[in-house]
């Protein structure tokens, strides 16, 4: 095999050891396939066929695994799709930071510096907090804060705020892993100030409020507002920690969105420490931000666990480029893709859908009926879970409902995979996040539907 011209060429280009391993893998695979099929019925693979497999394998391995997709799911900050899209300012900053940088060095004195200084000034300005530090994500921010301020101590938390954010982030588990004891107070639907007061003992470390993020309790409910909790904390000389989840830095009402408490409001309402995500409504890179009183932030930063959770230079560079975009709240939606997409008006999206409908219908050539339907987008990442945002979608409805999954598969198989959502027997492409029509139109030629003579969908792939 190693004498085969194409394999020899590959070995010269990519290294002999790497290619030899692939040759062995492909031979083993061929052998297995032949045995499975009862060998004799099928001609043994020729050497050329195996060489071709090797070439394909090399191509696959060298192709980037993380690829851009079109998020037409209707969930703007989709965790599985990488949450907030970053603006060019952030990309340039990350590129600048790729080599050696002044990450932890004071250029004036030559002394050891602190990586948080690159974002702290802007975080202070935008939140009104005294100090700030950045970790890998908000889950880490909460874990580190609790471990730093409440290790082996008690933390009362309302039963209405024992949230599961998704994946493995469940408040009771995080508390346990942070080494503190959760003291449940109140009930699922109603918690009162006296519940907290009754729970406070000598072993209480702090009071905490967790933004319920991804659900809402309606009806007969009562919660203790942040301002009141801050007051109770002060009465007992305890820090008050507010996990905001999706921390926003500006008033979303300016973009026609429902109000979501901002970090500045949480600070003003008396939180001593506020934790929030960088890649939710803030619209930045994945990170968790901790802001608050200088003495408490300093304690958090001294925790050896901080070292295991600290943000890297690329993240800090991106965050450092994004925070200044908030200097003029009136223009932030123009500058920050996440907010721009969230602020898009239904009328614009619907006009876009009408524009695209006939083109998509043409590409599908009768394989599915295409119509424009109203829908609701989700902010995603647990923010504003109930309201949804009025939007418009292209509804792709195949004649036979069993073709639906294959239709969705054909869109996922495009050079830039298109992800929609399936609802009521149709594939919905919510156009809220389609910035440029050509991103979709440009690849319709590659759609493997309706091109065959029978205008039928491709047969299902057998596993
Ligand atoms: C999203 C969220 C988290 C976790 O944040 P990540 O950045 O996803 O780690 C924690 N707490 C709340 C309230 C959240 O909404």
Question: pLDDT digit string (tens) for 115-156?
Answer: 999 999 999 999 999 999 999 999 999 999 999 999 999 999
Average pLDDT, the chain: 92
Written as six digits, the tokens of 404 are: 């639906």
Tokens representing 109 are 């004195």
Residue 117 vs residues 142, 248, 288, 319: alpha-carbon distances, Å: 21, 21, 15, 12
For tokens 């060298």, what's the residue? 62
Instruction: Find, among 393, 458, 389, 386, the residue nearest to 424 by Cα.
Output: 393
Q: Cβ(138)–Cβ(275) under 8 Å? A: yes
Q: Where are the domains of the chain?
A: 5-62, 70-78+342-456, 88-335
d(C-alpha 212, C-alpha 229), whole Å = 16
Measured between alpha carbons, how far is 338 from 280 in angstroms, rounded to an integer?
A: 9
How far apart, in whole angstroms, are the C-alpha atoms of residue 286 and residue 311?
9
Q: Buried b vs exposed e over 53-74: b needs ≥16 C-beta within 10 Å?
A: bbbebbeeeeeeeeeebbbbbb
Question: For ligand 1, what atom is nearest to the CA of residue 140?
Answer: 9
pLDDT at 455 over 70: no
- pLDDT tens, position by position, 180-208: 999 999 999 999 999 999 999 999 999 99
459: its two tokens = 């047969």
Fold of 88-335: 3.40.640
Select from 84, 134, 139 the residue to mutate for testing ligand 1; criterion: most ligand atoms less than 8 Å from CB. Answer: 139
Alpha carbon distance 121, 129 (integer Å)? 10
Specify the CATH class of 70-78+342-456 in words.
alpha beta
Taking every pair of Cα atoms in the chain, the longest distance, rounded to a whole number of angstroms, is 85
Choice between 336 and 380, residue whose per-residue pLDDT is larger: 336
The whole-angstrom separation of Cα 207 and Cα 357 is 53
DSSP-assigned beta bridge partners for residue 164: 170
- Residue 97: closest CA among 115, 123, 73: 115
pLDDT of amino acid 420:
98
Q: Quick one: tokens of 114?
A: 């602190």
Q: Given this model, what pLDDT does residue 44 score?
A: 56
Q: What is the pLDDT of residues 21-36, one digit of tens each?
A: 999 999 999 888 888 8
Backbone angles phi, psi at 241, to 5 degrees: -105, 130
Query: pLDDT by residue (tens digit) across 274-316?
Result: 999 999 999 999 999 999 999 999 999 999 999 999 999 999 9
How many CB atoms are located within 10 Å of the residue 126 CB? 21
Residue 344 burial by CB count (10 A; 0-12/13-18/19+): exposed, middle or buried? buried
Phi, psi of 373 (to 5 degrees): -130, 145
Residue nearest to atom 13 of ligand 1 (CA): 245
Residue of 75, 82, 142 with the most ligand 1 atoms within 8 Å of its CB, for mutation: 142
Q: What is the residue-wise DSSP string for 266-297?
A: HHHTT-SEEEEESSSTT-SSS-EEEEE-HHHH
Question: Following DSSP, what letter does each residue of 395-428 receive, concatenated?
Answer: EEEESSGGGHHHHHHHHHTSSS-EE-EEETTEEE
- Structure confidence at residue 45 as a pLDDT band (50, 70, 90): low
* Least confident span in 92-96, 99-103, 222-226, 258-262: 258-262
Higher pLDDT, 169 or 56: 56
The helix, strand and coil proportions of the chain, stated in percent and rounded to the nearest 5, come to 45, 20, 40
**Closest C-alpha to ligand 1, atom 2:** 245
Average pLDDT over residues 161-183: 90
User: Can you tell me the distance from the alpha carbon of 263 to that of 236, in angstroms, rounded to the nearest whole number?
Assistant: 24
Q: Edge to edge, what strands does the sheet with 389-398 contain?
A: 368-377, 389-398, 426-430, 421-423
Q: What is the pLDDT of residues 412-423, one digit of tens each?
A: 999 999 999 999
Question: Ligand 1 center to residue 139 CA distance, Å?
Answer: 5
The pTM (predicted TM-score) of the whole model is 0.92
Residue 454 has pLDDT above 70, yes or no: no
Helices (H), 200-336: 226-235, 263-268, 294-302, 305-309, 313-322, 332-335
Distance, in Å, from the CA atom of 148 to the CA atom of 20, rounded to the nearest integer, reads 51
Question: What tokens were used for 87?
Answer: 């603006």
SS3 319: helix
Q: Which residues line ligand 1 (CB under 6 A)?
A: 137-139, 142, 165, 169, 210-211, 213, 243, 245-246, 277, 288, 381-382
Give residue 213 CA to ligand 1 midpoint distance, Å: 8
State both tokens at 197. 């007061």
Spacing, Cα 279 to ligand 1 middle (Å): 10
**Which tens digit of pLDDT belongs to each residue from 67-92?**
999 999 999 999 999 999 999 999 99
Within 10 Å of residue 251's Cβ, how many Cβ atoms?
15
pLDDT reported for residue 215: 81
In the predicted structure, residue 462 carries a pLDDT above the cut 50:
no
Determine the atom of ligand 1 nearest the C-alpha atom of 277.
7
CA-only gyration radius of the chain, Å: 27
């Amino acid at each position: 095999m190693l004498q085969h011209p194409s394999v020899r060429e590959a070995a010269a280009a990519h290294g002999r050891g790497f290619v030899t391993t692939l040759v062995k893998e492909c031979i083993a695979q061929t052998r297995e396939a032949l045995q499975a099929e009862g060998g004799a019925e099928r001609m043994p693979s020729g050497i050329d066929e195996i060489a071709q497999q090797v070439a394909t394998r090399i191509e696959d391995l060298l192709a980037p695994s993380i690829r851009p997709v079109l998020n037409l799911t209707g969930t703007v900050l989709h965790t599985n799709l990488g949450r907030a899209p970053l603006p060019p300012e952030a990309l340039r900053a990350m590129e600048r930071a790729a080599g050696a940088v002044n990450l932890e060095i004071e250029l004036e004195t030559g002394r050891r510096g602190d990586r948080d200084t690159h974002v702290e000034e802007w975080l202070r300005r935008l939140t009104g907090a005294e100090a700030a530090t950045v970790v890998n994500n908000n889950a880490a921010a909460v874990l580190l804060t609790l471990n730093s301020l409440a290790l082996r101590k008690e933390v009362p938390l309302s039963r209405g705020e024992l949230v599961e954010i998704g994946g493995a982030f469940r408040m009771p588990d995080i508390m346990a892993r942070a080494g503190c004891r959760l003291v449940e107070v109140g009930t699922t639907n109603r918690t009162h100030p006296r519940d907290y007061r009754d729970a406070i003992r000598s072993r209480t470390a702090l009071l905490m409020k967790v933004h319920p993020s991804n659900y809402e309790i309606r009806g007969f409910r009562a919660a203790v507002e942040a301002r009141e909790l801050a007051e109770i904390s002060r009465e007992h000389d305890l820090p008050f920690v507010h996990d905001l989840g999706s921390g926003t830095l500006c008033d979303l009402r300016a973009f026609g969105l429902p109000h979501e408490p901002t970090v500045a409001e949480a600070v003003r309402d008396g939180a001593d420490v506020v934790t929030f995500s960088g890649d939710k409504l803030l619209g930045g890179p994945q990170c968790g931000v901790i802001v608050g009183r200088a003495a408490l932030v300093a304690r958090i930063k001294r925790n050896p666990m901080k070292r295991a959770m600290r943000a890297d230079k690329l993240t800090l560079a991106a965050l450092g480029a994004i925070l200044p975009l908030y200097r003029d709240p009136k223009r932030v939606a123009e500058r920050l893709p996440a907010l721009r997409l969230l602020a898009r008006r239904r009328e614009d999206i619907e006009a876009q859908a009408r524009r695209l409908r006939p083109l998509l219908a043409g590409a599908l050539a009768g394989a599915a009926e295409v119509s424009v339907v109203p829908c609701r987008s989700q902010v995603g990442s647990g923010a504003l879970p109930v309201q949804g945002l009025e939007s418009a979608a292209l509804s792709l409805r195949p004649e036979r409902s069993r073709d639906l999954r294959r239709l969705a598969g054909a869109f996922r198989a495009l050079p830039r995979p298109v992800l929609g959502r399936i609802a009521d027997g149709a594939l919905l492409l919510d156009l809220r996040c389609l910035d440029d029509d050509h991103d979709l139109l440009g690849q319709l030629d590659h759609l493997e539907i309706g091109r065959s003579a029978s205008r039928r969908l491709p047969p299902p792939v057998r596993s």
